[in-house]
Amino acid sequence: MPWRISSAMSQRLEFVLLASQERANLRELCRRFGISAPTGYKWWHRYNAEGQAGLTDRSRRPLNSPVRTAEAMESSITALRHKHPAWGARKLRQRLLDLGHTALPSPSTITAILERHQLLDAKESPKHKAFTRFERSAPNELWQMDFKGDFALPHGRCYPLTIVDDHSRFAVALHACAKNTKNITQKVLIEKFRCYGLPQWIICDNGSPWGSSCRGHYTQLAVWLMRLGIGVSHSRPHHPETNGKDERFHRTLEAEVLRYQRADTLSQWQRHFDSWRDIYNTERPHESLAMKVPASRYQPSTRRYPERLPAIEYGPDDIVRKVRHAGHIKFHGRELHVGSAFYGLHIALRPTTTDGLYGVFFCHHKIAQLDLSFASIK
């Protein structure tokens, strides 16, 4: 399909930033973005030659001039603040630098300009504190996924589904969903897998549709992800910091979108989300990334999404059992519960060095441990 008309500029920017990454496969990116190779190379060459100005169909007149007056610079700062009212001085300064402005004032001077123009909210300042968090070493090693708190619409509710790449903070998905169900979530994931490839691991919370009221049990969505070769884990109950980058993304979404925008339908909210996601990924400087944008550190996964689920295969020494109704298997004359999400599928048992202790595997993932001395699976 061609570029989305409503955000062609942002789509082009995301494309060229991803294409600029080391070892990027430009033809593969063209396929995932639904454009021809000549079109992709055209925008890539224009971006390399002219920067962001080369991506627009409009006039390429420079955004700044060496003879700008201090008043013009101040106007640029306040205009950008009006466009992004939740951005602080450091983000505003970095964005102006990215747009080609030179001889910019310091962050403290920009703060003074905002204060002079009554563009600062004293209640908001204490909320903006820097955090230091562990991050994965490469894109797509871990995606964090969650639903932000839902809110009412005139007819129905909106459940914002968010997915953030742990390494780059790249917002893989921001989708306005009617419900937080397995089918809706899976549909969004397939769309993102086709565009960005498969991650190695996904972490989510314990709520619907990926969590289970029974600890250690898996849902149908988790089983589907494991069949794709994606590891699945859950944050600790009552510890949202385990999914901290996505939680931080939710606070930014609240501060920069939900606080200011209004809409009555899911499609209207999706337009707001699409527009802001483009800004978040390609324009908004990120302090934890040394004021770079997430798209500058992200590249799609080399693991392509298979349109058909791969076959479930086990080794010749594995003890294979088919999961029966209610999620049970029969082993050594005993009925053992594996989980109803595995109904109709095959699992494997592998003995350990401890007598009577077996590892329980689904595809390549260890899902439980069987202790025959207690006749239980944990």
Query: Between vectors from CA 339 to CA 334 and to CA 340, what angle results, nearest 5°?
Result: 110
Q: Identify whether residues 154 and 227 lie together within a single domain.
A: yes
Q: Rounded distance, CA 155 to CA 264, Å?
A: 8
Distance CA 369, CA 41 (A): 52
| Choice among 62-76, 173-187, 217-231 with the minimum mean pLDDT | 62-76
Burial (CB count <10 Å: 0-12, 13-18, 19+), residue 26: middle
Residue 220, class by beta-carbon neighbours within 10 Å (0-12 exposed, 13-18 middle, 19+ buried)? middle
**Is 302 among the domain residues?**
no
Residue 115 has pLDDT above 90, yes or no: no
CB 200 within 8 A of CB 140: yes
| Residue 45: half-sphere exposure toward Cβ, Cα within 13 Å | 6
Q: pLDDT at residue 69 above 60?
A: no
Is 345 found in the same domain as 234? no
Residue 137 falls inside a structural domain = no
Task: Quickly tell me which residue has 């955004």 as its tokens.
Answer: 63
Write down the pLDDT at residue 5. Answer: 47
| 233 and 109 belong to one structural domain | no
Same domain, 47 and 118: no
Type of residue found at 245: K
Which of 169-173, 206-210, 265-269 has the least mean pLDDT?
206-210
**Final residue of a structural domain among 247, 265, 296:** 296
Task: Say what the pLDDT of residue 132 is.
Answer: 46
**Does residue 248 form part of some domain?**
yes
Q: Answer yes or no: do 155 and 48 share one domain.
A: no
Mean pLDDT of 7-30: 86
What pLDDT shows up at residue 376?
A: 65
Confidence class of residue 107 from pLDDT cuts 50, 70 and 90?
Answer: confident
DSSP structure class, residue 258: I
Residue 301 lies in a domain: no
Q: Which two tokens mark 64?
A: 């700044």
Q: Give me the domain span that covers residue 361.
A: 319-377
SS3 (DSSP) at 46: helix
- At 106, is the secondary structure helix, strand, or coil? coil
Per-position b or e across 199-213, b if 16+ CB within 10 A of its CB:
bebbbbbeebbbbbe
| Residue 109 belongs to a domain | yes
pLDDT score of 127 more than 60: no
Pair 160, 290 in one domain:
yes
* Domain assignment present for 286: yes
Residues shown for the chain: 378
Answer yes or no: do 149 and 246 share one domain. yes
Highest mean pLDDT among 114-118, 175-179, 332-336: 175-179
The count of structural domains within the chain is 4
**Residue 68 in this model has a pLDDT that exceeds 60:** no
